[in-house]
Chains A and B, each alone.
Chain A
Amino acid sequence: MIELQDIWKTYADGTHALRGVSVLIERNEFVYLVGPSGAGKSTFMKLIYREEIPTKGQISVNGFNIGKLKPRKIPYVRRNIGVIFQDYRLLPKLTVYENIAFAMEVIEAPKRIIKKRTMEVLELVGLRGKHASLPQQLSGGEQQRVAIARAIVNNPSVIVADEPTGNLDPETSWGIMNLLEEINFRGTTIVMATHNKEIVNTLRKRVIAIENGTIVRDEARGEYGYEN
C-alpha cells in the first residue's frame, strides 16, 4: 500500500515539482501515471523509492514512513520496491544472469537460492537462453525484460516503472506490458508513468493525471486523455 498525504516537493533550484498531492494506492493495484513532461510524474515515483524526500507531507510505502527513514534503513526498504527505467540501467559489464543475481546477492541470499530464483525469473521474462549474454548484445526489448527480471527477482510488493516502453517499438512495448500485467496478476502493485496513449487506452487501468504538480484526474478505468 502506498499513501501520499499532502505531499509538496520543492527542489533546491526552486522548482515546485509537487504541490499538495494526496493519493492512496491499494495493494495489487495497477496505476498509470500520465501527464505532460515536467508535470511531476518522475518526482512522484522518486518519492516512492526514496530517491527524493518530500519537502512537506507524509508518504508511506508498506507501512514505512519513507520521508522520515534513516539513511541506514533505505537499502532495506528499497529491496521491497522494484524499479524499472526507460533506459534499462543494467550493469554493462555483467551478463544477463549476473545482472539479475546481483539484486539477490545484495540481500545476501544463499547461492543455491539465487541460482534457482534467477533462472525462474529468466524463464518468466522469456530470456532463459540469453543468460550468458551481455546487455549490449541484446535488443532494447530484451534489455528491458532483464531490467524487469531484476526488479521482480526479490519478490517486491511494489514495482515502480518510469516510462518502461519509452524506447521501444509498439510490438515490443506490448510484450513488456503483457509481462507487467502478468506480474501484477501475481500480486505486485504496479505504478507506471507513461506517455503511451495506445497502451493506456487499450489496457484499461486506474489513471492518475498530474499537471503542474497536482493531481487533476484520478479514474478507476481511465483514459490517457492527452493528444500525443
Chain B
Amino acid sequence: MKISTVLRHLREGIKNVVRNGWMTFASVSSIVISLFILGVFLLLALNVNNLADQIESQVQIRVYLQLGTPEAKVNELKNAIGNIPEVKKVVFVSKEQGLKDLRTSIGADGSELLEGYDDTNNPLPDSFTVDVFDPQNIAYAAKKIDAIGSADASKPISSVKYGKGTVETLFRVTNAVRNIGLVVVIGLAVTAMFLISNTIKMTILARRREIGIMKLVGATNNFIRWPFFIEGALIGVMGSVITTVLLLFGYSELVQASQFELGLMMIKLVTLRDAGLTVSAVTLALGTLIGIWGSTLSVRKYLKV
C-alpha cells in the first residue's frame, strides 16, 4: 500500500466519524453506557475483593503454651513454627503482654472483671500469634503447628486456635462474593460487546449502499475496509476515553466523600491509583477492541457482494 493511500484511509476514517455524526454519537453513547455500567461493577468487584482480602488477612492462629514452659523451649517452638513454609510471621506474646492486650480489648466497661490480677497471679499462658501467607491455608498451618506440639515429648503446646468453623464460613462467603463479582463482570463485558457491535452494525447497515458503490467503481475489499476499521477504532477509543474519565472522576469523588464514614468502620476503599489502572486498562482495551471488531465484522458481511 502506498503511503498516500494509508494517509487517505486515515483521513477518510476520521472524516467518516464527522460525516456520520449521529451514527457516531449513537455508537459512542452505547459504548459509554455499556462500559460505564461494566466499570461500575468492576470497581465494586475490586473493592469487594479488597475487602475480602482485608478481612481474611485479619485471620490469625493463636498458639497457647503450657504454663511454665521454659524459655529455651519457647524459642525452639518459635523457630519450628517459623520454619513451616505457609507461615509468614510468628510473634511471641508473653503472659504479661497477653493480660495487657486483654485489658485493652475488654475496655473500661469490663475492667472490674480483671481486677485483682497482676503479674504474680496472671492466669494466662504464654502464646504465639501466627500469620500465614495465604489465609486460605490457615487450617493446614494450624494442623502442622499442632503436630509439632504432639511430636515434642514434653507436650508444650496446650492448644492451637484459629477460629475453626468461623474461618471456613468466612472464606466460603468471601469466595462466593468474589466469584459472583467475576461472573457479573464477565457477563456485563459480553453484553456490552454485543450491544456495541450491534449499534456499529446498524450504522454500517445504513451504509451498505455506500459499500456497494465503492465496489462498483472498482475498490478492492481492503480499500473499502480500512477507513471503516479506522472509524471503528476511533469510535471505540472515543467511547472508552469518555467512560474512563467519567469512572475515574466519579470514583475519586466517592473515595473522598466516603473516607471518613468508611474509615470509622475500618473499611478502606481501593485507592484511585490502584483501581484506576485496572479500570482504565479494561475499558480502553475493551472499547477499542469492540469498535474494531464491530466494524470489521459488519463490513465483511457487506463486502460479499
List residues of chain A with CB within 8 A of the CB of B5: 108
* Of A51, A91, A103, the contact of B218 (CB 8 Å cutoff): A103
Return the 3 tightest CB-CB contacts between A and B, nearest first: A79-B218, A78-B218, A103-B217
Contact between B218 and A76, CB atoms less than 8 A apart: yes
Distance to closest chain B CB from A131 (angstroms): 17
Q: Knowing A76-B218, A103-B217, A106-B218, say if A93 contacts B223 (CB, 8 Å).
A: no
Considering the complex, give the chain B residue whose CB is closest to the CB of A85. Answer: B216
Contact between B4 and A106, CB atoms less than 8 A apart: no
Considering the complex, give the chain B residue whose CB is closest to the CB of A79. Answer: B218
Q: How far is the CA of A93 from the CA of B213 in the complex (A)?
A: 13
Digitize A12-37: 1 where CB-to-B-CB distance is under 8 Å, 0 elsewhere: 00000000000000000000000000
Contact between A150 and B217, CB atoms less than 8 A apart: yes
Contact between B209 and A75, CB atoms less than 8 A apart: no
Contact between A106 and B19, CB atoms less than 8 A apart: no
Q: How many residues of B contact A (CB 8 A)?
A: 20
Distance to closest chain A CB from B22 (angstroms): 12
Digitize A64-103: 1 where CB-to-B-CB distance is under 8 Å, 0 elsewhere: 0000000000011111000100000111010000000011
Can you pick out 8 interface pairs between chain A and chain B where the beta carbons lie within 8 Å of each other?
A51-B305, A77-B218, A89-B216, A93-B19, A106-B214, A106-B219, A106-B223, A107-B218
Contact between A91 and B216, CB atoms less than 8 A apart: no
Contact between B4 and A111, CB atoms less than 8 A apart: yes
Task: Please give the residue numbers on chain B whose beta carbons come within 8 Å of chain A beta carbons, in ascending order.
Answer: 2, 4-5, 8, 19-20, 209-210, 212-221, 223, 305
* Of B2, B217, B221, the contact of A79 (CB 8 Å cutoff): B217
7 new A-B contacts, CB < 8 A, other than A89-B216, A154-B217, are A78-B215, A78-B216, A102-B214, A106-B219, A106-B220, A111-B4, A154-B218
Q: How far is the CA of A42 from the CA of B215 in the complex (A)?
A: 18
Q: Knowing A75-B219, A78-B218, A93-B20, say if A105 contacts B213 (CB, 8 Å).
A: no
Among B215, B217, B218, B221, max chain A CB count under 10 A is at B217
Contact between B213 and A91, CB atoms less than 8 A apart: yes
Q: How far is the CA of A105 from the CA of B2 in the complex (A)?
A: 11
Main secondary structure of the interface of B (DSSP, over half): helix
List residues of chain B with CB within 8 A of the CB of A78: 215-218
* Of B4, B19, B213, the contact of A110 (CB 8 Å cutoff): B4
Main secondary structure of the interface of A (DSSP, over half): loop
Distance to closest chain A CB from B304 (angstroms): 9
User: Does A44 count as interface, using CB distance less than 8 angstroms?
Assistant: no
List residues of chain A with CB within 8 A of the CB of B212: 89
Distance to closest chain B CB from A163 (angstroms): 16
* Of A76, A89, A111, the contact of B213 (CB 8 Å cutoff): A89
Distance to closest chain A CB from B239 (angstroms): 22
From residue 94 to 149 of chain A, which have CB atoms closer than 8 A to chain B?
102-103, 105-108, 110-111
User: Does A49 count as interface, using CB distance less than 8 angstroms?
Assistant: yes
Q: How far is the CA of A93 from the CA of B216 in the complex (A)?
A: 17
Among B20, B213, B218, max chain A CB count under 10 A is at B218
Digitize A49-62: 1 where CB-to-B-CB distance is under 8 Å, 0 elsewhere: 10100000000000
Distance to closest chain A CB from B84 (angstroms): 67
Considering the complex, give the chain B residue whose CB is closest to the CB of A103. Answer: B217
List residues of chain B with CB within 8 A of the CB of A51: 305
Distance to closest chain A CB from B61 (angstroms): 70
Distance to closest chain B CB from A75 (angstroms): 5
Q: How far is the CA of A150 from the CA of B217 in the complex (A)?
A: 8
Q: How far is the CA of A51 from the CA of B8 in the complex (A)?
A: 27
Q: How far is the CA of A83 from the CA of B216 in the complex (A)?
A: 7
Contact between B215 and A91, CB atoms less than 8 A apart: no
List residues of chain A with CB within 8 A of the CB of B220: 75, 106
Considering the complex, give the chain B residue whose CB is closest to the CB of A105. Answer: B8
Considering the complex, give the chain A residue whose CB is closest to the CB of B212. Answer: A89
List residues of chain A with CB within 8 A of the CB of B20: 93
Q: How far is the CA of A37 from the CA of B271 in the complex (A)?
A: 72
